A and B are shown apart, each in its own frame.
Chain A
Amino acid sequence: MANVKKITTPLSDADIKNLRAGDRVSISGVIYTGRDAAHKNLVNAVKAGEPLPVDFKDQIIFYVGPTPAKPGKPIGSCGPTTSGRMDSYAPVLLELGLKGMIGKGPRSKEVIEAMRKHGAVYFAAIGGAGAVIARSVKKSEIVAYPELGPEAVYRLEVEDFPCIVAIDAEGNNLYETGVEKYRIS
């Protein structure tokens, strides 16, 4: 398996160029959470010309709704949710300079096209491994939409958060090439 590439947020264009579908990566720094309801709010705000609660330029959004933190822990279980539900919103945030998305499952053509256009990467984390993923989160705080409960936007400080580059900025797509590689004809 490929060596693990270490990256730190915010991401630069050079970071993005260096990432290829099929790379294992380890992410450190600040990332933001956001899923269905938060995306709806964010995109509505953009359409209405209102300021966003977070500047997503060069940042990563992690599609997750964590379980509540137990006492003494920064966060509960926090594995990725299905990214496809964010496909209709993602191009708007990519246009604002979002550089990375972490989730699970394939993305639409429109999202991949926007990733190519704006230079962004889609990372897959392991769905259903939320308890071990939580070990790489060192700190968490809600920065927007607290009324959404688990769907609020959290600012997470992560160390060595494990991911796989599933789709890179050139549109190489592990959901296609990986399946093709093991196809039985």
Chain B
Amino acid sequence: MKEISTEKIIETVKNLCIEAACNLPQDVEELIKKHQASEESEFGKYIFEQMIENIEYARKENQAMCQDTGVAVVYLEVGQDVHIVGGSLVDAVNEGVRQGYTEGYLRKSVVDDPVFDRKNTGDNTPAVIHTEIVPGDQLKITVVPKGAGSENMGALKMLKPAEGLAGVKEFIIKTVTEAGGNPCPPIIVGVGIGGTMEKATMLAKKALTRKAGEHHPDPRYKELEAELLKEINRLSIGPQGLGGRVTALAVHIETYPTHIATLPVAVNLNCHAARHQEAIL
């Protein structure tokens, strides 16, 4: 049984929050640069240049690359042979978020009640925490600051099995089309197919943390990812929705077995600032 202290968890989450907001992962930056050459629109080219300059400047200055430093979505993969000592795991994660968003000069964007008060909690807590128990004696922490501009454009549909592949494609394309310029294109499209209502949405969000350039292991889904990316980039929404060739940078599909009577499909969009950082304790 390995012991991991809450003190260590607080420190790690704090650093991940700051790192995620200020330092875009290299693979995402490379993905953006890879697509830059395909853009034909003058505004699109200008926007790509600004995006890349912004990534480099934010990294150099250790400043948030986008003012929407998001709600902190925190994935915890807790090894079943790990013993957390020193207090509550959830409290430790929230304390890390509190310290990271304060010390990193990140925006506090969380309101306490969604409908009635909508009062800012002042420290970006609580985080949205997803915990999974896995084999082993490690704790993997992934912090995904999720901005609302792209989050608001996500959607879920419970399809009938008879709607099949055509229904899945149609729903994904429809969701991206309706999102238009709102989610800060070029976007990364996270898709969750299967499971239940909540499982599909979880898969769609998790898909956004996949390393850029990686594909679904099943060649049929890999092909579907490529086909959808091509279709989406034919929509000509373009960078920031002002028209152009590059609307999406990647389509990431995650799947799970499902019930005989259903075919859930969830789409979670991410802006080009597809921020996430992870650490293993």
Q: Which A residues are within 8 Å of any B CB, using their own CB? A: 1, 24, 37, 64-70, 76-79, 81-82, 84, 104-106, 124, 126-132, 134, 148-151, 162, 164, 166, 174-175, 177-184
Segment touching A, from B49-57, B77-85, B90-98, B207-215: B49-57
Query: Contact between B57 and A131 (Cβ–Cβ < 8 Å)?
Result: yes
Residues of A near B152 (CB, < 8 A) are: 82
Give the distance to chain A from B52, nearest Cβ to Cβ, in Å: 10
Known: A130-B64, A149-B108. A175 touches B242 (CB 8 A): yes
Docked Cα-Cα span, A164 to B243, in Å, equals 13
Please give me the residue from chain A that is nearest to B22 by CB atom: A131
Nearest-neighbour CB distance to chain B for A145, whole angstroms, equals 11
Contact A126–B51 (Cβ < 8 Å): yes
Assembly CA distance A72 to B273 (angstroms): 26
Partner of A124, one of B107, B183, B242: B242
Closest to B119 in A: A147
CB < 8 Å: which of B58, B120, B149, B243 contacts A179? B243
Interchain Cβ contacts under 8 Å between A and B, 21 examples: A24-B46, A65-B67, A65-B107, A67-B64, A67-B69, A68-B107, A81-B149, A104-B149, A106-B181, A106-B241, A127-B149, A127-B184, A130-B65, A131-B64, A150-B107, A151-B120, A166-B242, A174-B43, A182-B40, A182-B244, A182-B245
Q: How far is the CB of A144 from chain B (nearest CB, A)?
A: 16
Binds A, one of B155-163, B190-198, B232-240, B253-261: B232-240
Q: Which residues of A contact B181 (CB under 8 A)?
A: 104-106, 175
Counting from the closest, the 9 A-B pairs by CB-CB distance are A178-B243, A127-B184, A182-B236, A131-B58, A129-B54, A105-B182, A1-B42, A130-B67, A77-B67
Q: How far is the CA of A130 from the CA of B53 in the complex (A)?
A: 11
Interface residues on B, range: 35 or more
> Which residues on the A side are within 8 Å of B63 (C-beta)?
67, 70, 76-77, 131, 134
**Contact status A178-B149, CB under 8 Å:** no
Q: How far is the CA of A128 from the CA of B270 in the complex (A)?
A: 11
The answer to whether B65 touches A77 (Cβ under 8 A) is yes
Residues of B within 8 A of A (CB): 40-43, 46-47, 50-51, 53-54, 57-58, 61, 63-69, 105-109, 118, 120, 122, 148-149, 152, 180-184, 234-238, 240-245, 271-273
Residues of chain B lying within 8 A (CB to CB) of residue A148: 120
Residues of A within 8 A of B109 (CB): 65, 150
User: Given A129-B50, A175-B241: A104 and B184 within 8 A (CB)?
Assistant: yes
Determine which residue in A69, A126, A174, A184 has the highest number of CB atoms from chain B within 10 A of its CB, and name it.
A126
Q: Once the chains are docked, how many angstroms separate the CA of A62 from the CA of B37?
A: 31
Q: How far is the CA of A48 from the CA of B4 in the complex (A)?
A: 56
Say whether B182 contacts A82, CB under 8 Å. yes
Give complex CA distance A78, B58 in Å.
Answer: 12
CB within 8 Å for A127 and B240 given contacts A77-B63, A82-B182: yes
Measured in the bound complex, the distance between the Cα atoms of B187 and A150 in whole Å is: 25
Point out the residues of chain A lying under 8 angstroms from B106, CB to CB.
67-68
Given contacts A77-B65, A132-B54, contact A179 B184 (CB under 8 A): no
Q: Within 8 Å CB of B53, what residues of A?
A: 129, 132
Q: Which residue of B has the minimal Cβ distance to A183?
A: B236
| Known interface pairs A151-B120, A174-B242; A78-B67 also in contact (CB < 8 Å) | yes
Chain B, Cβ-Cβ closest to A85: B152
Across the interface, which residues of B come within 8 angstroms of A132, CB to CB? Answer: 50, 53-54, 57
B50 with A126: CB separation less than 8 A: yes
Q: How far is the CA of A121 from the CA of B183 in the complex (A)?
A: 22
Cα-based distance from A128 to B245 in the complex (angstroms): 19
Contact of B47 among A77, A126, A130 (CB under 8 A): A126
Chain B contacts of A84 at CB under 8 A? Answer: 182
Contact A128 B182 (CB under 8 A): no
What residue of chain A has the Cβ atom nearest to residue B58's Cβ? Answer: A131
Select A164's contact among B43, B57, B66, B67, beta carbons within 8 Å: B43
**In the bound complex, do residue A131 and residue B184 qualify as a contact, i.e. CB atoms below 8 Å apart?**
no
Smallest CB–CB gap between B14 and chain A, Å? Answer: 16
Q: Which residues of B contact A178 (CB under 8 A)?
A: 41, 43, 238, 241-244
